[in-house]
Chain A
Amino acid sequence: MDLLIYYVSGTREDVLSFLSDKLRERNFVKDSYKRSLLEREKKHPTGLVLSDLVNVAIPHTDPEFANADVFVIGIPQNEVKFGRIDDPSVEIAVDLIFLFVIKDPNEYLTFLSKLTENFANKEFLGYIKERNMEKINAFLKEHVL
């Protein structure tokens, strides 16, 4: 699976719009993806509070808006807040944004399973906190992608 990394800034909507546009330009997603992603995040926020003071967001939408599989990491350049997945009224500033586009629903599940399994890995959490992209890249290639 392709891995793309972008620096992002602005509000949560700015960030999701920016990443959607980048994915559209490269034809990873359909035109309707952006709207669906933004609506979905509004309705069902995806901010996750992990161990070791690490917060991430995993914005996603239905596989039907995907053209090809891709994993995108957004590195916030300012504080970007997401609603908590379990309590949308609480917003958390995230260390990184993991946005994934996967076409096949079964693959999607396998991927989500592999990614979240590693949320229990202290080494991985450390790399996220440090925003050590080289290590994150290597870790994801070995364990997730």
Chain B
Amino acid sequence: MGQDKTNSKRYLIYVACGSAAASANLVKARLTELLQKEKINAEFKTMRVSEVVSSVNAKRPDLVIITAGGFSTQGLPNDLPVLSGLPLMTMVGVNDFIKKVKNALKITEG
């Protein structure tokens, strides 16, 4: 109620996988498309999981998405949302995933 829709904001999202080659780019491509449908404006940066902490320290994003396992959130701010990008690889629970992304970006449902 009375909350502004923040559609004009450009969100920064980091996507990390094992090599920054395949799955991170796949998740980036799929999520770009899905967010466009939701009229959410986002900028992506793909990286290796090993680069996440230093990248976050250099510039804090709105959301971090991980597509490789064994990732520790150690060293990251407690209030920084971190999600698994797996649904965009297995195509299981994609709608739930989008809800989680919107939640993490604090976007209220229209």
Q: Which residues of A contact B (CB under 8 A)?
A: 40, 43-45, 48-51, 60-63, 83-88, 105, 108-109, 112-113, 116-117, 119-120
Which residue of A has the minimal Cβ distance to B86?
Answer: A86
Among B18, B23, B26, B69, point to the contact of A84 (Cβ < 8 A).
Answer: B69
Q: A117-B91, A120-B91 are in contact. Are A109 and B26 (CB under 8 A)?
A: yes
- Interface size, B (range): 20 to 34
Q: Using a CB–CB distance below 8 Å, which chain B residues touch chain A?
A: 17-19, 21-23, 25-26, 29-30, 67-70, 84, 86, 88-92
Q: Which residues of B contact A62 (CB under 8 A)?
A: 19, 21
B21 & A108 in contact (Cβ 8 Å cutoff): yes
- Judge whether A85 and B21 touch: CB under 8 Å: no
Cβ of B69 and Cβ of A88 under 8 Å apart? yes
Closest residue of chain B to A117, judged by CB?
B91
Q: For residue A45, which residues in chain B have a CB less than 8 angstroms away from its CB?
A: 69
Residue in B closest to A52 when the chains form the complex, CB atoms: B92
User: Which of B29, B68, B92 makes the CB contact (< 8 A) with A50?
Assistant: B92
A116 and B91 form a contact (CB under 8 A):
yes
Query: Can you sample 6 A-B contacts with CB below 8 Å?
Result: A43-B18, A49-B92, A85-B69, A112-B22, A116-B26, A116-B88
Closest CB in chain B relative to A111 CB, distance in Å: 9
In Å, the complex CA distance between A131 and B44 comes to 38
Q: Can you add 15 more A-B contacts, CB < 8 Å, to A44-B18, A49-B90, A112-B23?
A: A43-B18, A43-B70, A44-B69, A48-B89, A49-B92, A50-B91, A63-B21, A85-B67, A85-B68, A86-B69, A88-B70, A116-B89, A116-B90, A119-B90, A119-B92
With the chains together, A83 CA to B26 CA distance in Å?
21
- In the complex, the chain B residue whose C-beta lies closest to that of A49 is B90
Is B89 within 8 A of A109, CB to CB?
Answer: no
What residues of A have a CB within 8 angstroms of the CB of B22 in the complex? Answer: 60, 108-109, 112
A51 to chain B minimum Cβ distance, whole angstroms, is 5
Chain A residues with CB under 8 Å of B29's CB are 109, 113
CB-CB under 8 A from A44, the residues of chain B are 17-18, 68-70
Least CB distance from A92 to B in Å reads 12
B82 to chain A, nearest CB (A): 12
Contacts of B90 in A (CB 8 A): 48-51, 116, 119
Q: How far is the CB of B63 from chain A (nearest CB, A)?
A: 17
